[in-house]
Amino acid sequence: MKLNRVEDPKEFLEVIDRCAGRVELITTEGDRLNLKSKLCQYVSLVRILSSADELLDLEIVAYEPEDIRRLMDYILKE
């Protein structure tokens, strides 16, 4: 699923932390960052905040159906 904007990075990371399975952020370069890893969360957060003025076009992949619903709820809320 595509992620265009993250208005509240703290809330975004809280949603990720509540996910049970693996959640990955796929960068525009094709790198896969495991968002369950705190280090990758910080790297992702820097990328998101440094692009705050630009429209982000990042892809998030979740593998558990409940995690997909949780992320979709967050994305659709934005």
- Domain residue ranges of the chain, discontinuous segments joined by +: 2-77
Q: Does domain 2-77 have CATH number 3.30.1340?
A: yes
pLDDT at 2 (0 to 100): 82
CA distance 10 to 69: 19
Kindly state the helix (H) or strand (E) to which residue 24 belongs, with its residue range: strand 23-26
Residue 15 has pLDDT above 70, yes or no: yes
Name the pTM for this structure.
0.75
Q: Are the C-beta atoms of 14 and 38 separated by less than 8 Å?
A: no
Q: In 3D, which of 43, 73, 58, 52 has the Cα closest to residue 7? A: 52
pLDDT in tens, 52-76: 555 466 788 999 999 999 999 988 8
Residue 18's pLDDT band, with cuts at 50, 70 and 90, is very high
pLDDT at 72 (0 to 100): 92
